[in-house]
Amino acid sequence: MNPRLRLLWLGLLVAASATLTAVYTCITPFAAFGVLAATTLSRRDGLLLMIVLWLANQAVGFGVLGYPWRADTLGWGVAIGGAALIGTLAAQRLGSSRSLGQTVAAFVSAFVGYQLGLYALAVPFLSVAGAFAPSIIGQVLAVNVGALIGLVGVSQLLAAVEGLLHRRRVQTSPARFA
């Protein structure tokens, strides 16, 4: 990807994370972000991006939304960060293909990995099994699906822009003769 478009893409993902955190408070779509990290970045860069997205989530939560500085709130933050990395790793296992089937499989893997990771990290230490009621999981799923659709659309738009820029560069470069 063009370096400028790559920076734009990463900036858009961070802005989307911060915005969705502010809008949905406790439902940042980390599974959707994990799929995009897995399908558009290297393994290392995808995991680093998830850490940055988690930090943006925490900054908005504590700095803007006024999350209380208590042990249980901090514990939830750590659990969410760990689960986001687990979901991303689950999506990365399926490769970086951009086919619809591969994206859906990566999303299912990321969502299940995120939810199981969050459950495993949160419930034993925070005693919050009620946070995993089917209605809440359904809300989390809906936000993740919506975010994934929107973010894939933005990714496709950037890929189209990159294709246009490449064609323009090729057309305007001087002709070479053998």
Express each pLDDT in 47-64 by its tens digit: 999 999 999 999 999 999
The pTM of the full predicted model, rounded to 2 decimals, is 0.87
| Chain centroid, CA 85 distance in Å | 10
User: Does 178 score more than 70 pLDDT?
Assistant: no
Name the residue among 167, 162, 168 with its Cα closest to residue 7. 162
Q: Look up residue 130 and give its DSSP letter.
A: G
* Rounded mean pLDDT, 69-79: 91
User: Does 87 score more than 70 pLDDT?
Assistant: yes
Half-sphere exposure of 110 (CA within 13 A, CB side): 33
User: Does 39 score more than 80 pLDDT?
Assistant: yes
Please, which pLDDT band fits residue 176 given cuts at 50, 70 and 90?
low
Predicted confidence at residue 153, as pLDDT, reads 92
* Rounded mean pLDDT, 12-25: 93
The pLDDT > 90 percentage for the chain reads 62
pLDDT digits (tens, 9 = 90+) for 93-122: 986 667 888 899 999 999 999 999 999 988
* Rounded mean pLDDT, 142-157: 94
